[in-house]
Chains A and B, each alone.
Chain A
Amino acid sequence: MTILILLPLLSYLVSAFLLLISKKKSSSSGLIALAGSLIAALCGIFPVVHVLGGQGSLDFMSVWNLPLGSFHLHMDLLSAWFCIPVLFISVLAVCYGIGYMSHYKTQYSVKYNWFFLQLLSGGMYFVLLAWDGILFLMAWEIMSFAAWFLVMFDHKKKEVRRAGWVYLAATHLGTAFLFAMFIIASNESGSFDFNHMAGLSASVNILFILALIGFGSKAGLFGLHVWLPEAHPAAPSHVSGLMSGVMIKAGIYGLIRMVMFMDVWSPWWGWTLIAIGICSGLGGVLYAVVQHDLKQLLAYSSVENIGIICMGFGIGILGLSYGNPAGIIGIAGALLHVLNHSVFKTVLFLSAGSVAHATGTRNIDSMGGLARKMPVTSGIFVIASLSICGLPPFNGFVSEVMIYLSSYKSAIFNSSMNTDLMLAALAVISVLALIGGLAVMCFTKVFGVVFLGESRTDCCQGSEDPPPSMLWPMIILVFCCALLGFGGAGAVQMVIPVAQSVCSSAAYYGGELTAVSKLMGQISILMAAFILFCLLLWALRAYLQKNRTISQGPTWGCGYQHGTGRMQYTGSSYVEPLLYAFRTLFHSKYKAPGGRDILPEESYFSSHTPDLFMKFFYTPLFSFLASFFAKLRIIQNGRLNLYIFYIILTLGGILIWGTL
C-alpha cells in the first residue's frame, strides 16, 4: 500500500516524459495526458480510500537523502482529503482540454500544454505528499512553474504575457516568504522533516504571519489576489479550471499544515483569519459582480470562496482556542468547502470556456440568448451557479451551512459567554449572509445576460454545445455537485476524521460533527421532498397543457417597431445600483460623451472598474521599485576594469573586516 502513493507521481512523470519526446504535431498527445492522469487517479484512489477510511497514514522514506532534507513522502488524513480533487479533477480537465485545445493546434504545438499540465497535476500531488520542508518547496516550485507555463501558453497575445508576469511575480514573492518560514521552523525544530516539526512553540507567531502571506498569495487572499483575475482569463479554460479549482487550494493546504505543527493556537490567528476572510469574501464578490469579463468574474469569485474557507477556519481556530467545541464544525465546513469549491468552480470555468469558445468573446455584455443554442451548457451552468451561491440542494449549501452553524453555536451556545467569540461569530454570520446575497446577484447577472434573452451582437450566431468529450466532464462534475449536496450527511461523515486530525486537541469534539451529519440527513430528506413537489407541479402543468396548443411569438416591445438585441438590459445596468452604493470602494470610470443636443448624435456608454489593489498599491509599488533599481544599473556599465575594481573592494573589505 505504501508503494501505491508513489504510483500517481510516477504516472504523471512518465506521461509528461512521453509527451516531451512525442512528435510535435502528434494528435495523440492529449490521449497520452489523459491516460497518465487516469492511471494516476486509479492508483491514487487506493491510498486515499485507505487513509480516509481510518486505517492509518502511509509513509514512504527513500533510501537516498537530498543534500538538505530527505525524500520523505507521507499521506495523512489532510493530504488524502486534498488529494481527492487533485486526482479526480485533473482527469476531467484533461478530458475537456482535448476538445478545447483542438483550435490551438494550428498556432501552437499543443503537446507542451499537456506536458506542463501533467507537471502541474504531479506537482500538486507532490506538494500534498511532501513530508519535508525542502522537498515541499521543490514540489511547490514545480507546481508554480508548471502553472506559469500553462498561463503563458497563448503567449502571442500581449495581455497573456502580462498576466504571466504578474503571476510569476506573485508566486515568487509568496515563495520567498515560504523559504523564510521553513528556515525559521527548521531552526526551531532542528530538522526540515515534518515529523520533527510538530510541536513548534517559540516562533509560532512569526511563522503564522509568514505562512499567511506565503500561502495566502497562492490561495488568492484579498490583497494578495491580483494575479487571479489576470492569470485565469489568460490561461486556456481547462487550465484555469484546474488552477482555480485545485491549485489555489494548495495554499489552503499549506496554511492548515503549518497551523497543525503549532502547539498552542492563539486567538489572534482566528481573528486574523476571520478579518482576512471577511475582506476576501466581500471584496471578491463585489468585484466579481461588476466584472464584464466572464472568466475574470469567476476568478474574483474564487477570491470570495477562499474568503469563505478562511472564515470557516478562523471561526474554528478562534472557537477551539477558547475551548468551544463548535469550532470543529467551522473547520470541517471549511475543509468541505475546499472540496466543493474545487468541483463547482472547475465546472464553471469549463462551461465559461465552452461559451467563450463558441462565441469568440469573453465579454458578458455582448452575449445573450445562449440557452437556446447551448441548452446542455446552460443547464450545467445553472446547477453550478446554484452550487456556488450556496443554495440547496447542491454542495455549496452543505459547507456554507456548516460554517453558519459553527458561528451560530459559537454565538449562542457559548458556555463561557465569551464576548469576543460571540462578536466574531456574529460578524461571520452577517458577512456570510451578505456574501451569499451578492453571489446570487453575481450569478443571476451572468446567467441572465449570457443565457437568457436575445443575442446582443453577432458573436452568438453559430454557437452550439461543445462535443461530448467536453460535455461529459462537466456533466460528471455537476453530478458530483448534486451528489455532495443530497448526500451532505455522507460528506460530513467523510470529513469528520479529517477535521479531527487537524485539531488534535479536539479529538473528542467528534460528537458535534455527528450531530451536524444527522441534521444534514434531515435536510436532504426535506430537499428531496421539495424536489419531488416541484416535479409533481411540473407534471401537473404538463398534464394541464396536454390538450392545448402552445404558440410562440416575440416579446411585446411596447409598440416599438425596430427593437434589436442590443436594446436589452445589460449586465452593467443590472449591477449599476450596486456600483452606486459602493462607489467609494470601486472608483469606477464612466464614459458617456456627446448626445446631449436637441438632435441625438452617436453616443456610447462604458464603465470600467479597476482593481483597487492593483491600481493604488501594486502598480505604484512596482513602478517605484523599478525606478529605484534602475539607478543601480550605473554599477553595471560594461567596463571590465570597474568590475574587477568591485572585486578588489570586496576582497579588501573582507580582509580589513577579518583583520579588525
Chain B
Amino acid sequence: MMDQVLIAIVLLISIYMLGSSRLGGLVNAVAWQGLFLCLLAASVQKTNMPWHEWVLILLAIVVKALILPLLLKRALRETLVQREVEPQLGYSLSLFIGLLLLVGSIWTVWKLPLPPEIGNPMAVAIALFTLMVGLLLIVARTKAITQTIGYLTMENGIYVLGLTLAVGSPVVIEMGILLDVFVGVLVMGIMIFNINREFDHINTRHFTALKD
C-alpha cells in the first residue's frame, strides 16, 4: 500500500517536471522526487535490510534532497535565470511524449524477465520512467540548468533502478553511484556559473559554434 502511494507521488512529480517552465519549481521537484524515490527504494525491499543499507539510503536522501538542490538554487540565484523561455520541445508536446514513455516503460518492465525478489514491478517501471524523463529533459530544454536537472533526474532513476533490481548489490557500487552524481552536479553547477559569467547567458543553443 505504502509503495503504491509513493509510486503515484513520484509519477506526478515527474509529469510536473515535464510541464513546468519555472526553474525554481523544477529544482524543488527534483529534490522531492529524490526523497520519495529513496523512500520507494527502501519500501520495496522484501527482506530486512542490513543497517549499512539504511545508512546509504539516508545518505542518498541527504545528498539528493538537500545538498544538490541547494547547490542548484544557488546557481539559479547567481545566474538570475528564472524561466525556461524557448524550449526545444513545447511543454504540451513534452507531456505527451512523457505519457508515451510511461506506457513504454510499463510495457518494457512487463515484458522483462524480472527476478522474483522484486516486490513491486511497478517500482521498476517508475524508475525506468524517471530515467527517461531525465533524458527527455536534457533533450527538450536548452538552458544548461534544466539540463543539469535532467541529469539529476536521470541519476535518480538509475539509483532506484539499481537499488530495486540489483538485490543485495555491493555497497561499493551504490557508493560509486552516489559519488558520481555528487561530483557531476558539483561540476555542472560550477560550469553553469562560469559559463554565465563568461557569456552572459546559459543557453546551450549557442554551443553549436563549437562543432567542426
Instruction: List chain A positions with a Cβ less than 8 A from chain B.
Output: 636-642, 644-645, 647-648, 651-652, 655-656, 659-660
- Complex Cα distance, B205 from A638, in Å, reads 9
Given that A659-B111, A659-B112 are contacting pairs, would A638 and B207 also be in contact in the complex, using a CB cutoff of 8 Å? yes
Q: B148 near A: Cβ within 8 Å?
A: no
Contact of B208 among A638, A647, A652 (CB under 8 A): A638
Verify B139–A638 contact, CB threshold 8 A: no
Q: Apart from A638-B209, A641-B139, list 15 A-B contacts with CB within 8 A.
A: A636-B211, A636-B212, A637-B211, A638-B208, A638-B210, A639-B205, A640-B138, A641-B88, A644-B138, A651-B135, A652-B104, A659-B108, A659-B111, A659-B112, A660-B111
Between-chain CB contacts (< 8 Å), 6 pairs: A638-B209, A639-B208, A640-B204, A641-B138, A641-B140, A648-B139
By a CB distance below 8 angstroms, the chain B residues around A645 are: 139
Verify B207–A640 contact, CB threshold 8 A: yes
Q: B156 near A: Cβ within 8 Å?
A: no
State the Cβ distance, A658 to closest chain B Cβ, in Å: 8
By a CB distance below 8 angstroms, the chain B residues around A640 are: 138, 147, 204, 207
Verify B108–A655 contact, CB threshold 8 A: yes
Among all A-B residue pairs, the 8 with the closest Cβ atoms: A638-B211, A638-B208, A659-B111, A645-B139, A641-B139, A648-B135, A644-B138, A644-B139
- Complex Cα distance, B211 from A637, in Å, reads 7
State the Cβ distance, B157 to closest chain A Cβ, in Å: 12
By a CB distance below 8 angstroms, the chain A residues around B111 are: 659-660
- Complex Cα distance, B52 from A144, in Å, reads 57
Q: B14 near A: Cβ within 8 Å?
A: no
By a CB distance below 8 angstroms, the chain B residues around A638 are: 207-211
- Complex Cα distance, B112 from A656, in Å, reads 10
Among residues of A, the one whose C-beta sits closest to the C-beta of B209 is: A638
By a CB distance below 8 angstroms, the chain B residues around A647 are: 135
Instruction: List chain B positions with a Cβ less than 8 A from chain A.
Output: 88, 104, 108, 111-112, 132, 135-136, 138-142, 147, 204-205, 207-212
- Complex Cα distance, B212 from A636, in Å, reads 9
Among residues of A, the one whose C-beta sits closest to the C-beta of B212 is: A636
- Complex Cα distance, B132 from A289, in Å, reads 68
Verify B208–A644 contact, CB threshold 8 A: no
- Complex Cα distance, B124 from A655, in Å, reads 14
- Complex Cα distance, B108 from A647, in Å, reads 18
Among residues of A, the one whose C-beta sits closest to the C-beta of B111 is: A659
Among residues of B, the one whose C-beta sits closest to the C-beta of A656 is: B108
- Complex Cα distance, B207 from A642, in Å, reads 12
Verify B108–A641 contact, CB threshold 8 A: no
Among residues of A, the one whose C-beta sits closest to the C-beta of B107 is: A659
Given that A655-B108, A659-B111, A659-B112 are contacting pairs, would A644 and B135 also be in contact in the complex, using a CB cutoff of 8 Å? yes
By a CB distance below 8 angstroms, the chain B residues around A652 are: 104
Verify A641–B210 contact, CB threshold 8 A: no
Among residues of B, the one whose C-beta sits closest to the C-beta of A641 is: B139
- Complex Cα distance, B139 from A660, in Å, reads 26
By a CB distance below 8 angstroms, the chain A residues around B135 are: 644, 647-648, 651
By a CB distance below 8 angstroms, the chain B residues around A659 are: 108, 111-112
Give the residue among A641, A645, A652, A656 with the most B Cβ atoms within 10 A.
A641
Among residues of A, the one whose C-beta sits closest to the C-beta of B104 is: A652
Among residues of B, the one whose C-beta sits closest to the C-beta of A645 is: B139
Among residues of B, the one whose C-beta sits closest to the C-beta of A660 is: B111
- Complex Cα distance, B104 from A652, in Å, reads 9
State the Cβ distance, B212 to closest chain A Cβ, in Å: 8
- Complex Cα distance, B105 from A656, in Å, reads 10
By a CB distance below 8 angstroms, the chain A residues around B142 are: 641
By a CB distance below 8 angstroms, the chain B residues around A651 are: 135
- Complex Cα distance, B140 from A79, in Å, reads 62
Among residues of A, the one whose C-beta sits closest to the C-beta of B144 is: A640
Contact of B204 among A637, A641, A660 (CB under 8 A): A641
By a CB distance below 8 angstroms, the chain A residues around B138 are: 640-641, 644
By a CB distance below 8 angstroms, the chain A residues around B139 are: 641-642, 644-645, 648
State the Cβ distance, A653 to closest chain B Cβ, in Å: 12
Give the residue among A640, A648, A660 with the most B Cβ atoms within 10 A.
A640
- Complex Cα distance, B140 from A652, in Å, reads 17
